[in-house]
Amino acid sequence: MIELTKSPKKIARQLINLALQRECEDFLNKVQSFLHEVESSGKDAYANYLSLFKKVNEFDEHIARHYDGISGSRYLLTILNLYCAGILSGKDITLFDEDMQKYLTDMKRKLMEE
């Protein structure tokens, strides 16, 4: 695997933060939809609260697994995972130089074939 130097690590941190922001925004939109559904469902408030709590707890665990404690040595793997998951796009990785873009695109293609 490629070792990132200082400049690509800075870009990776920006992209990891962007991905986190996107995931949080997506989750908040889902919570908003859930709350609109709850208003019209007629279920009791406590059942709705428990459902919401479960959703928040699951999302928190997801975020912790994917974003907590990422060290510089794991930036590239994290970027690749986010790119393969569709959280980061091809446009996002254009911040990297051409060699890194090619590496990420080739790795994504290989991983998706499996």
Query: Residue 96: phi, psi to the nearest 5?
Result: -80, 165
Q: What is the mean pLDDT of residues 7-27?
A: 96
Q: How confident is the model at residue 114 (pLDDT cuts 50, 70, 90)?
A: confident
Structure letter (DSSP) for residue 87:
S
- Mean of pLDDT over the chain: 93
CA distance 88 to 78: 11
pTM for the whole thing?
0.88
pLDDT of amino acid 1: 66
Sign of CA pseudo-dihedral 67, 69, 72, 73: negative
pLDDT digits (tens, 9 = 90+) for 54-68: 999 999 999 999 999
Percent residues over pLDDT 90 in the chain? 79
